[in-house]
Structure 1
Amino acid sequence: MIRFVMSCLALATLSACASLPHGEAPARAEFVVIGDTPYNASDEAMLATAIPKIKAIKPPFVLHVGDTQGGGEVCGAPDDRFAKLVEALKPIPVIYSPGDNEWTDCDRKDVPGTTTKFSELARLDILRSRFFAAPAVTDPAFDYIQQAGQPENARFEYGGMVWTTLNMVGTNNGRDSVMGDDLATAAKAAEARELANVGWLNEAFAVAAAKKARAVVIIMQADMVTEVDPKAFGHPCFDAVAGKREVPCDGFYPIRDMLPALAANFGKPVFLIHGDTGPFRAFKSWAPGQVYELNAAGDVWYRDSGEMCAVRDVTHVWIDVDAAEPLRAVGLTTGEVPGTTQPVHDDCK
């Protein structure tokens, strides 16, 4: 069943319940999002400050939108660091959607002690066996389930909403710069992931409609708009992948194309939470209708001038479907408000 954050009886007055449409229970959630960190010692220091603050809030869960390491780090050892973060946040469950830095970008480096590039597909298998072999949430009230064959895709229910993760990552959703795997094998795997994601997202909206959920929340790593080559935007990939270059297609097209229709048919708010790019923003999405988007804090880098792009922080988030502003967010350690104090240069993305 759907677990509601607050019941009408918990509200200050019964009149507040009466004001809700069709007598529906309120749909609210307060939680924390981590992503695109740590890349360096400064990020690690921020997390050391953030962890006790997160635990003081006592959110029902923490969402991690991937990139648990820097894109230039050798993969493998940083997995231990992420495992320690998950352990440090206990008993708060961490619901994790992997990022490109910890699997699709691993083949930027050789396997230590060899001259062989990392296999992206082997890295994904390692992440699956280490971080997705058991459910992230065991409380039966969440009705937490994982997709067969793609266990990093999960779905759960909280606060009158259906929440779903999708393995959608940068590097053109795993289709560019495939240097450690056979290209035909990588193409087949990319197609399988894409089909699984399409099916999982369709299922999330079907479940939300059947259970009369008041919103759908989608969690992924990729920024499906900013990260696409404008020349390739809207061109399906089919079975295309590329070696030491970019393939001229849009690896995010199927999900980005289907989302507006799913949201319109659902007819209620949809929230898209991701990382992947620097701008810390909460806004009405590119998709029409009641679609709201959060590009969470993280992914800090510096312009040649020394000016910092993005916000070094984790994100404290509130969703309240009945509020005039249904999506609110703030940097937990900095107090940064999305889109207000960071640089907005074209190259800060």
Structure 2
Amino acid sequence: MLKPQALRAALAVALLALSAHSPAQAPAAAPYFRAGVSFALLGDVPYGVSEEPKFDRVIADINASRNVRFVLHTGDVKQGSERCDDAVFIKRFNQYQKFDDAFIVTPGDNDWTDCHRTNNGGYLPTERLAKFREIFYPAIGRSTGKQPISLLSQAAAPGHAAHSPYVENTLWQFAGATMATVHVVGSANNLAPWNQLPGGDRPGERQAEFNARLAASLAWIDEVFNRASASQSAGVMIAMQANPALEAAAGSSARLGFDEVIAKITARSIAFGKPVLLAHGDSHYFRVDKPLVNAGVSLENLTRVENFGSPNVHWVEVFVDARDPNVFSVVPRIVPGNVVPR
């Protein structure tokens, strides 16, 4: 038997439902309510063995969600002082496979560009990038996770034969929006010297890598917006690892390696005219804002979301609904077991 309070609540709900379906009471246009489909956004975790149990709690929290359909990691699968050994990569990859849904990752600077550091093993960064691709992208055009989904990879996309190495640049459709990853990393997008590499920096090789990947990134951003326009997508989400210093002035040292990417995203967002969500990690500071300025005014249709990062081992839920004028709704999810003692 229902308790009195529960009975009163049930009657109130029933009356509300009846009134909502009454033709005389129906509003001209139904109000927007947040839809039930979302994705989990995270990055910069786990940083070291000590955070692996915390990350397992994040996995359990996400797996318990009824809304999440895929998990997106913005890179840095290891901390900056952790070795770049195959065993570390494989261990993290296996931990990510505990997600019940699809898992998608874009590389971070800790995952390859900074592997020249002595405490990382003194690896050649381009060799580590090749190994990262081998481990984290076992099937071109398909995510990992327990419920993998199909992706369009730049490595197999029509018209992108010149960019065939970039298996990590991917695109897919979700809830009326076009989603994508673009390989843009910290450490000035790999323009920072490999100064701890045995034998010293290799500026020519490093610059050549940057030039080729930048060309692929710019071409992929165009592809993303072209397909979004062709499919009449309600919005676009682009994820990268680097915090590209959106608040800084073009040409400033803070934007070294990022100016062309920002200019491309700015121009295409303006032309697209619908909501654009730029997701990144790198600086380990959860935020949602509109930092891009064009002609002295904030670019209104572009929103930046940065995920939590070590030592804050939590996640961000992003709801996607084409009926919402903003398309994307961002909700921070704090994992109780990972709250830092005060």
TM over 0.5: yes
Q: CA deviation at 1:18?
A: 6.0
Higher helix share: 2
Q: 1:74 to 1:165 in 2, by over 3 A?
A: same
Unaligned runs of 5+ in 2: 1-19, 156-163, 294-298
CA distance in structure 2 between the partners assigned to 1:167 and 1:260 by the alignment: 17
- Stretch moving more, 314-323 or 119-128: 314-323
TM-score (normalizing by structure 2)? 0.76
Amino acid of the structure 1 residue aligned with 2:137 = F
CA distance in structure 2 between the partners assigned to 1:283 and 1:334 by the alignment: 25
> Highest Rg: 1 or 2?
2
CA distance in structure 2 between the partners assigned to 1:86 and 1:312 by the alignment: 14
Alignment pair present for 1:275 and 2:291: no
Contact residue 275 and residue 295 of structure 1 kept, 8 A: yes
Alignment pair present for 1:207 and 2:215: no
1:188 counterpart residue number: 208
RMSD of Structure 2 on Structure 1 (CA): 3.3
* DSSP-derived class of the 1:125 partner: helix
Amino acid of the structure 1 residue aligned with 2:98 = A
Q: Deviation digits for residues 14-42 of structure 1, max 9, x if unmatched? A: 98996699xxxx98741111210111345
Q: Deviation digits for residues 266-308 of structure 1, max 9, x if unmatched? A: 11000011110022112234251211111101133xxxxxxxx
Unaligned runs of 5+ in 1: 1-11, 237-246, 301-310, 342-349
* DSSP-derived class of the 1:221 partner: coil
Alignment pair present for 1:316 and 2:313: no
Alignment pair present for 1:63 and 2:72: yes
Q: Choose which of 45, 52, 55 in structure 2 pairs with 1:37.
A: 45
2:180 counterpart residue number: 164
CA distance in structure 1 between the partners assigned to 2:36 and 2:274 by the alignment: 14
Amino acid of the structure 2 residue aligned with 1:267 = G
Amino acid of the structure 2 residue aligned with 1:312 = V
CA distance in structure 2 between the partners assigned to 1:164 and 1:223 by the alignment: 16
Q: Choose which of 82, 85, 93 in structure 1 pairs with 2:92.
A: 82
Alignment pair present for 1:146 and 2:146: no
CA distance in structure 2 between the partners assigned to 1:294 and 1:267 by the alignment: 19
Amino acid of the structure 2 residue aligned with 1:96 = V
CA distance in structure 1 between the partners assigned to 2:35 and 2:274 by the alignment: 11
CA distance in structure 2 between the partners assigned to 1:52 and 1:79 by the alignment: 21
TM-score (normalizing by structure 1)? 0.74
Q: 1:125 to 1:41 in 2, by over 3 A?
A: closer
Alignment pair present for 1:121 and 2:126: yes
Contact residue 143 and residue 157 of structure 1 kept, 8 A: no
